[in-house]
Chain A
Amino acid sequence: MKKLLVSVLITALVFSLAAIPMTAATALSDISGHWAEKSINALLDKNYVSGYPDGTFKPDNAVTRAEFLKILTSVLNIPPATGGTSQFSDVTPEDWFFGYVVAAVDKGIVSGYPDGTFKPNNPITRQEAAKIVVKAQGIDETQAAVDFTLSMLTDGDQVAEWARPFVAAAVENEIMMGDPTGAFRPIAQITRAETATIGFRMLPVEVAGTFIFGRGADSVKLDPADVTDGESARATVQIYDTLVMFKGETTLIKPGLAKSWEVSSDNLTWTFHLRRGVKFHDGTDLNADAVLFNFERWWDTENPYHKGTFEYWESMFGGFKGDEGCVIDKFEKVDDYTFRIVMKQPFAPLLSNLAMFCFAIASPAAIKDQGPENYATSTEFPPVGTGPFKFVEWVKDDRIVLERYPEYWGEKAKIEKVILKVIPDNSARYLALKSGEIMGMEGANPDDVKAAKNDTNLQVILRPAMNVGTVIFNVTAKPFDDVRVRKAIAMAINKKAIVEAFYGETGLVANQFLPPSMWGYNDKLEDYPYDPEGAKALLAEAGYPDGFETDFWYMPNPRPYFPDPKGIAEAIAADLGKIGVRCNLKTEDWTTYLADRREGKFNLWMLGWTGDNGDPDNFLYFHYGVPRPGEGNYNNPELIKILTDAQKVVNQAERAELYKQAAAIIHEDCPRLFIGHNQVPLLFSKKVTGYVVNPTSTEIYNTVVILP
């Protein structure tokens, strides 16, 4: 019985996959909601695969070698051979797969087994599939960083010796990527869904369309090293590449211009192996000299090309060349494609830092030709990088136009052009999206986000939160020098109500610095309960039975982490009023606010943080690594030691533990209140697909597809 079933199934499989091209229009019952739904549908649309007569696709069934070839050759537009002879004893002209196998052998994609067979009806393992796709795509597997790439897979050691370069090449080229846990499963049989996904990734790219994105402000400058604003970054990440990059929707690291790297056993020397054959948009080569030029320019204030303030370098690496706080000792070119960074101390956040938009490699020739003052400031002085898009034009305060760079080393863009259009007013920008003048936007008013959700032509995508809105105490000023007062205030505020009212569906209640999507987040931490009575009692215990009066400063303008500072301040003040703490709400111009906060003029104020690189260090050490008036003079040596130690451990799991401890200490000392995290909503026309959101906002448009 079982045998019969199997043979029926196999017949059906062969029949459906190969023999009868069925119409794809009929929806199949078992692919909706499947992880590979998009890929399967795309291939069904083109008739490269088809469903079973019973209306199913059976995505998790295995495919045979012959079937795999059939799909692959269809995707690559290789027509089956109509004549010729087969070199395999088990492939005869009578077989349905004869034409496909002959054509594939012809193209050098497959070669069969040493015993002269092809075993067409055997199942195919994932490592065999890797070899076939690498050959089919014409990828030179000898270029792969085999050891490094396999070491990034959890089961890289299970790959057969002969398959190692092919698996590495397939992973590096993002044709086969392994499952979400990081396993490749080399000897597992490949399924129909997986085959469809591979086929989808190999589909010849149809380059079409212009992606017009609306934003609230113009870029300041297109030299990423010398800017800090998100709008400059939005443009520069399209034009430039960094040595390492953020992976998909996460803050995990993947290779960029450096295809692999290793760190010495003392954790001080990092060696980066650069990708070969990469060219800047001006035709010059990317090599170790170019990388060295950029690093020297960033960190050496005496360098003739160091013209500007390079704030991010200073803030991420603790200072410039020769500064005591700077964590870097020197940079070295080892050979043309090997670059080395030597640290003064182990510095774990290095890779996260290097993935930031600001440490992108620019063409040394362009900087020299244009002069460091002028570089990347206008159309006349264009930015030159190696990224998936080339700069075309910049009309200040209006638009930046980029075009596809066809020689890009990575995933090439699927659109001809990108236009970043400035539309300062949020409502006007939303109207422009509705009218079709733009196809995507950021910075929508909450009401417009709601409207967009119900609009059949629009879609809303939430960017994972990487920010936090907080209320800070000056812990050296009365009455906030008493931890009971701080805790009482923490218990008096109804955070949940505030987040619901002011953040809406995009908000998350915060109880620590890190948002839950980041590694190092302490999920064991229990927040102070909302308990006005308990708060009152605690306040009385601290010697303030009738409460007290205090100034409470709020920011004049919204930030991502506080969508409506005034409203939130009023809600907090109302909550505090209930326990007898009378707040005089105060605000002032933003820049003045920042100045006064920095100089320690406030005792109770609102401010938050938007992370730069997804590393907990960037949240925790930045605020509490060094006691400052601007952080409420909070000074806990135990915490500072943990944060400093965490910089020196390279192992991510160990670091995560340290940050969890840090969160617990901060929670106990209560030097600031964590109110909410906000997920930024992005609005798109339904015609836009493939937009990958990233918590760091580093969103590169080479994956974007504009549907006709």
Chain B
Amino acid sequence: MLSYIIRRILSLIPVLIGVSIIVFLFIHMIPGDPVLAILGERATVENVERARHELGLDRPLWEQYFLYVNKIFHGDLGRSIRSNTPVSQEMATKFPATAELSIFAMIIALIVGLPAGIISAAKRNSIFDTTVMIGALIGVSMPIFWLGLMLAFLFSIFLKWLPFSGRLDSTIILPIQTNFLLLDSLLAGNWEAFKNSLAHLILPSLALSTIPMAIIARMTRSCLLEELGQDYIRTARAKGLKESSVLLRHALKNALLPVVTIIGLETGALLSGAILTETIFSWPGIGRWIYMAIQSRDYPIVQGATLLIALIYVLVNLLVDISYAFLDPRIRVQ
């Protein structure tokens, strides 16, 4: 098992190199460059050439790539062209913001989606089932932009229960250590900050959770239904087991395998940032960061962030594969 994990981790290296080359080529192939993005209407021939030279953008592409890779091997992701801040430093603030939001959204999605799927499958074609499935359909197809604004309007403007922009009230002072604000406020023993950042998390994570929640509910239901049609279920029922036991101990365990895969993929997607949710709720996360960097052709950020996302996906897949081994003993034997 351990050697399997090590092998999988080692296989990361070629993946990341491949990703870095592809991203590097693609971002440089798009017409326009950071200088133009900075200058906008002011871009004239002379000032563009000079600024390109200052930034080293007039060198051959392969040279720029090797300079970049060389830096990475020295643990340096470069500096943002626009703001001059180290990419790693910006990443260290954006990623925890996204991770906190994603984890929270995934927990909500699981808490609601899994039981909803299970009950729907158990009570197939009941009113509950129909309601859940319609709800799930709405969940995947509702524009998150609209939902986000409606949530903000209802809970922040109308009811005035929850804040909807940012991660923490501007008036609260919190020493930052991990950039996971919930964690930071616990570390600082600042109960006020904890409550406040938790309140800021609710609306965006609710908005973000709708799609994974809907997918998880539908997936759980259909996988469970498939399992419930299997012979061993009939056997179990024939043995006179309680229906709950048949459902939860026998069918669910087998049905979970594809659900876990979906959860893994969705987590990967959440962790690579949600541009729309981050935009509406002014959440300083990784999605908008990349989006803005692409807009302004801030190459070092785009490259660094893409590497991070590739890493996340590979690691999440690895975790999913490992979890299979726990869920399905047959995989462990192989």
Give A contacts to B, CB under 8 Å.
210, 212, 217, 220-221, 228-229, 308-309, 311, 314-315, 319, 325, 373-374, 377-378, 395-399, 401, 419, 421-425, 427-428, 431-432, 434-435, 437, 589-596, 598, 607-610, 622, 626, 628, 630
A283 to chain B, nearest CB (A): 24
B190 to chain A, nearest CB (A): 16
With contacts A311-B51, A421-B165, A595-B36 taken as known, whether A431 is within 8 angstroms of B282 at the C-beta atoms is no
A311 touches B42 (CB 8 A): yes
Place the interface of chain B in its size category: 35 or more
Chain B residues, CB < 8 A from A374: 84
Q: Chain A: which residue is nearest B89 at the CB level? A: A378
A428 touches B152 (CB 8 A): yes
B14 within 8 A of partner (CB): no
With contacts A212-B170, A220-B83, A598-B36 taken as known, whether A609 is within 8 angstroms of B41 at the C-beta atoms is yes
B282 touches A422 (CB 8 A): yes
B50 touches A592 (CB 8 A): no
B238 within 8 A of partner (CB): no
* 7 smallest beta-carbon distances between A and B, as pairs: A591-B32, A397-B284, A592-B31, A595-B32, A309-B51, A423-B282, A592-B32
A211 to chain B, nearest CB (A): 11
Interfacial residues of chain B within 268-285, with CB under 8 A of chain A in the complex: 278-282, 284
Query: How far, in whole Å, are A421 and B171 apart by their CA atoms in the complex?
Result: 12
Partner of B83, one of A221, A398, A598: A221
Q: Chain A: which residue is nearest B47 at the CB level? A: A314
Q: Chain A: which residue is nearest B51 at the CB level? A: A309
B166 within 8 A of partner (CB): yes
Q: Chain B: which residue is nearest A378 at the CB level? A: B85
B32, B156, B289, most chain A CB atoms within 10 A: B32
Query: How far, in whole Å, are A187 and B202 apart by their CA atoms in the complex?
Result: 67
With contacts A419-B170, A435-B160 taken as known, whether A311 is within 8 angstroms of B39 at the C-beta atoms is yes
B82 touches A220 (CB 8 A): yes
Chain A residues, CB < 8 A from B148: 428
A431 touches B149 (CB 8 A): yes
Query: How far, in whole Å, are A152 and B320 apart by their CA atoms in the complex?
Result: 75
Partner of A432, one of B93, B165, B171, B297: B165
A592 touches B30 (CB 8 A): yes
B288 touches A311 (CB 8 A): no
Partner of B282, one of A428, A434, A592: A428
Query: How far, in whole Å, are A589 and B297 apart by their CA atoms in the complex?
Result: 11
Query: How far, in whole Å, are A571 and B38 apart by their CA atoms in the complex?
Result: 30
Q: 29 pairs across A/B with beta carbons < 8 Å?
A: A210-B171, A220-B82, A220-B83, A221-B82, A229-B38, A309-B50, A315-B47, A319-B46, A377-B84, A397-B289, A421-B165, A428-B281, A431-B152, A431-B156, A431-B157, A432-B164, A435-B156, A437-B156, A437-B164, A437-B165, A589-B31, A590-B37, A591-B31, A591-B32, A591-B37, A593-B32, A594-B43, A595-B32, A628-B45
Chain B residues, CB < 8 A from A398: 166-167, 282, 284
Chain A residues, CB < 8 A from B153: 431
B149-174 CB mask vs A (1 if < 8 Å, else 0) is 10011001100100111110011000
A435 touches B51 (CB 8 A): no
B333 to chain A, nearest CB (A): 49
Query: How far, in whole Å, are A608 and B41 apart by their CA atoms in the complex?
Result: 7
Q: Chain B: which residue is nearest A392 at the CB level? A: B173
A422 touches B284 (CB 8 A): yes
Partner of B40, one of A228, A314, A427, A589: A228
Query: How far, in whole Å, are A398 and B292 apart by their CA atoms in the complex?
Result: 14
Chain A residues, CB < 8 A from B47: 311, 314-315
B284 to chain A, nearest CB (A): 3
A598 touches B48 (CB 8 A): yes
Query: How far, in whole Å, are A377 and B41 apart by their CA atoms in the complex?
Result: 25
A591 touches B282 (CB 8 A): no
A447 to chain B, nearest CB (A): 13
A313 to chain B, nearest CB (A): 10
B231 within 8 A of partner (CB): no
With contacts A591-B296, A598-B36 taken as known, whether A431 is within 8 angstroms of B164 at the C-beta atoms is yes
B189 to chain A, nearest CB (A): 21
Partner of A434, one of B54, B149, B157, B289: B157
Chain A residues, CB < 8 A from B281: 428
Q: Chain B: which residue is nearest A397 at the CB level? A: B284
With contacts A428-B165, A594-B43, A607-B41 taken as known, whether A309 is within 8 angstroms of B35 at the C-beta atoms is yes
With contacts A428-B282, A435-B156, A435-B157 taken as known, whether A397 is within 8 angstroms of B39 at the C-beta atoms is no
B55 within 8 A of partner (CB): yes
Partner of B93, one of A396, A592, A609, A628: A396
Chain A residues, CB < 8 A from B94: 396-397
With contacts A315-B44, A396-B93, A592-B30 taken as known, whether A309 is within 8 angstroms of B55 at the C-beta atoms is yes
Query: How far, in whole Å, are A152 and B111 apart by their CA atoms in the complex?
Result: 72
B82-118 CB mask vs A (1 if < 8 Å, else 0) is 1111000110011000000000000000000000000
Chain A residues, CB < 8 A from B284: 395-398, 422
B31 touches A595 (CB 8 A): yes
